[in-house]
Amino acid sequence: MASKAFSLSSFALILLIFISLDCNTALANSKHHKKSSASAFDFLKHLQGCHKGDKVKQVHDLKNYLQHFGYLTYQNKSLGSNDDDFDDELESAIKTYQLNYHLKTTGTLDSETVSQMMVPRCGVADKGRPDIINKRTRMESGKKRHHHNSTSKFHTVSHYAFFPGNPKWSANKYHLRYGFLPRTRVEAMEAVGRAFRTWEANTHFSFERVEDYRSGDITVGFHSGNHGDGAAFDGNGGVLAHAFAPEDGRFHYDGDENWSVGARQGSFDLETVAVHEIGHLLGLGHSSVKAAIMYPSIASGFTKGLHSDDIQGIRALYNR
């Protein structure tokens, strides 16, 4: 009888260890974490090598990509963004994108540019970076003045950015409450909680979780496709998440991505993405410092934390 009891307890212990080790797999295969080899940005492969003057199928998708992320604006959308002509505006937008990501400013869709564009990223636009726009202006005017001197260089400091108009939480709103939409998994709640604590340790803000999300300042949840906020998700491998500037308080994960707790190949770390999106909730835009948490893109299988650039940015925004 004692032997039988020992066997049962041993089996229970082994089962408990197995469940613990398999936690991330269960998370990645839940209904919010679908596996797929296709990426929303795969269309870019077909366009590699395109340059001004070309007319290639799906160039209009490239235009929509650059419009969505803040690099391209047509005064009349029906005369530019819906066709497949690689026009002057598109070339200029690609050069600005290349500057922001420290690539060669060829204006063509070269392999390095395509590779960068295909990395999964935050859905918030990269606009609001006057340092990049000013650098483009200086480079182009420099070429006109010194067209015989190809070595002419211009320097700018790449760092944090804010949303247009520098929105931020009012001075009396330093204690923020956050809640989760129904059916948010426990693992995700815990990861987001750790992300809030990271920001709390480095800012004047404090955060408190509430059970009823409707009573909070910030709401967090998973969504798929068009979910009613004007920023539809695009499925696996494209936009990972997005959040809104102060004092909106909405933070949405794309439920069609493969999510994990910690670094796991083929999945995205819930906590890393949460730290990034909370930066947006507090008023930070995207940084062009690759090591910063507010850098727009992240590959699967990686984790990242706050960088000095992120901390300098939030302190500058709130004058602290």
Q: What residues act catalytically?
A: 277
Phi, psi of 207 (to 5 degrees): -130, 145
State the amino acid at position 307 in one-letter form. H
Q: Which of 133, 48, 54 is nearest to 90 (CA)?
A: 54
CA Rg, the chain, in Å?
22
Q: β-strands 268-269, 259-260: how paired? A: parallel
Query: What one-character-per-residue DSSP string does 57-77 give?
Result: TTHHHHHHHHHHTTS---SSG
Q: What letters, b where the CB count within 10 A reaches 16 and e where it falls short, cover 52-63?
A: eebebeebbbbb
Contact 105, 282 (CB under 8 A): no
Provide CB contacts within 8 A for 185, sequence distance 6+: 27, 30, 32
Handedness of CA 130, 313, 298, 123 (dihedral sign): negative
Contact 127, 288 (CB under 8 A): no
